[in-house]
Structure 1
Amino acid sequence: MVKERFRSLAILAALVLLPGCAAAIPKEISSKVTYSGGFGELQRSPEKFTGEYIILGGRIVEVKNDPPFSSMIVLQLPLETDHKPRINDPSEGRFLVRSGSFLDPAVYSPGTYVTVAGTVAGKEVLPIGGYAYVYPVIRQEKIWKWDLEKGSYPRFHFGIGIGTVF
């Protein structure tokens, strides 16, 4: 009886914990990365890195669909080792994603967290208020959306009797 309970608990723990070990971005994508610098360096000289394959992430600011392509402005955030944006870390700036396909603003709405894989395609200067802002342009190959709201991580409580969950 005790062995059966222990086995059931071990299986349940494995089902809960092992999916967190899986890579969020497939190796066939992450192995293509050729850019190894930081975001600040990319933002200062985007044209210097044209053609480099990169993975960036952050929070969507705006999506526009003007044929022949769609554009998405993303507020950059540092990435975890699984390439998900670190939502509590400061941003180093913005980047512009160009896609040859339609990016539905209802799906890619402002505030959504994304990771983008693609090639650096130079720069574009666009206004933010009265300021001319230099955006590194990424030609999108793949986009991943994440549900990373603060406090949305799983909480666990183990104990006997009365307890509290933080």
Structure 2
Amino acid sequence: MRYLLVLTLILLLLAGCATGPRYETTGVATDLVPSEVSASTQDYQGSQVIWGGMIVATRNLADYTELEVLAYPLENNQRPAASRTPQGRFLVRAPGYLEEVSYAPGRRVTVTGTLGEKVQGQVGEAPYTYPLVHARDTHLWPLESRSTDSGSNTRFSIGVGVIFR
């Protein structure tokens, strides 16, 4: 019985360390970036991608939700690294309805899907060619807590006892 309790606690601890999805990259064009696809005359339709970034806009339409995303390189856990140089913009079409309050500008998202046709649009007053991803899966990353302590976003603590401040 005690062994089962310890094993359960270890599994719960490990599950708490999970940080997000880990999409399979077999058959995925991991070297493609949105700015390259946007500027290229080559046809990338049908390519499988895993892209991520910061949501710029969300539009709910009749049959799908469209996200405009400012792309960033992905970290090892496939979270967009917003501290790095942006890689262009792309559009995501996710079937059904995604809540605009949840998928709000500034939120990070990672998307897997198939590249479709390019879509002509604008960024401000400038014309822009967006690569379009027909989403198979989207992962909305949790909001980051704004910590003023040592500048690190990671805080980890295990202990038993009482702390007086």
TM-score (norm 1): 0.73
Q: CA deviation at 1:33?
A: 3.9
For structure 2, the residue ranges without an aligned partner over 5 or more in a row are 1-5, 148-152, 159-165
Which residue of 2 is the match for residue 48 of structure 1?
Answer: 43
Give the partner amino acid of 1:74: V
Distance change (3 Å), C-alpha of 1:14 and 1:104: closer
Structure 2 equivalent of residue 138 of structure 1: 133
Instruction: Calculate percent identity across the aligned residue pairs.
Output: 31
Contact 2:28–2:50 (Cα < 8 Å) also in 1: no
Report the 3-state secondary structure (helix = DSSP H, G, I; strand = E; otherwise coil) of the residue aligned with 1:43: helix
2:71 corresponds to which residue?
A: 76
Structure 2 contact 20–141 (Cα < 8 Å) conserved: no
Alignment of 1:97 with 2:92, yes or no, is: yes
The C-alpha deviation readout for 1:109-166, integer Å capped at 9, x for no partner, is 11111100100012101112221111100001111011253766323579xxxxxxxx
Aligned residue number for residue 35 of structure 1: 29
Answering whether residue 117 of structure 2 is matched by residue 122 of structure 1, we say yes
The structure carrying a bigger helix percent of its residues is 1
**1:106 aligned partner:** 101
> Structure 1 residues 93, 80: closer, same or farther in 2, change over 3 A?
same
Report whether the alignment pairs 1:24 with 2:20: yes
Q: State the 1:23 CA deviation.
A: 7.2
TM-score (norm 2): 0.74
State the distance in 1 between where 2:99 and 2:124 align: 25
Does structure 2 conserve the Cα–Cα contact (< 8 Å) formed by 1:46 and 1:122? Answer: no
Shift of 1:41: 2.2
* 1:31–1:77 distance in 2 versus 1, CA, 3 Å: closer
CA distance in 2, matches of 1:81, 1:151: 22
Please tell me the root mean square deviation across aligned C-alpha atoms, in Å: 2.8
- Count how many residue pairs are aligned between Structure 1 and Structure 2: 146
- The answer for the alignment partner of 1:64 in structure 2 is 59
Structure 1 CA distance for aligned equivalents of residues 41 and 49 of structure 2: 12
Cα deviation for residue 13 of structure 1 reads 9.6
